[in-house]
Amino acid sequence: MYDTTLTRQSLPSERYRVLLGTAISVFSSNNGFIIENVLRIDDSTSWYALIDKTSGAVKNYVEGKLPDPIVQLFGDLVDMRNRIIHGFRITNTNGEQTIATKEKSGRQFEITEDYLLDFISKNEELSSMLHEFRGY
């Protein structure tokens, strides 16, 4: 697919791009929400210091400060987000432009629409957990 108003490069389908953008947006929101929640109970650092950390470093920082289920789910999402961000473009077996990724173990897989939908759903779950932890 081409959208020459944006670029002459081939692009994934519009739906895939919407899911990809939504995935990045909800994760970014939750990354900030994690920081907001930890700052409510820990004044030993600042928003500025935490926002400059990678999400993996934020996850390590909040261990022992936020409930384990929140930290575990955030860690899982950091790993999934890394697979999305550090992916590479492919033409899949259906002839569609998508992203694939390679784990450190060497396992490679396609970032499918289902993967993106699962990621978005897990971010919704994390957001709900953070709202509950915050008290509303």
The proportion of the chain whose per-residue pLDDT surpasses 90, expressed as a percent, equals: 89
The pLDDT, as a whole number, for residue 10 is 85
- Measure the CA–CA gap between 100 and 77, rounded to whole angstroms: 17
Query: pLDDT tens across 77-110, in order?
Result: 999 999 999 999 999 999 999 999 998 899 999 9
Structure tokens at 46: 């600042």
Contacts of 85 (CB under 8 A, 6+ apart): 24
Q: What is the pTM of this model?
A: 0.92
Who contacts 62 (Cβ-Cβ below 8 Å, separation ≥6)? Answer: 34, 38, 70, 71, 74
Beta strands in 12-135 (DSSP E): 88-91, 97-102, 108-111
Structure tokens at 135: 């008290």
Structure tokens at 73: 């789910």
The more confidently predicted of residues 135 and 60 is 60
- Averaged pLDDT, 121-126: 98
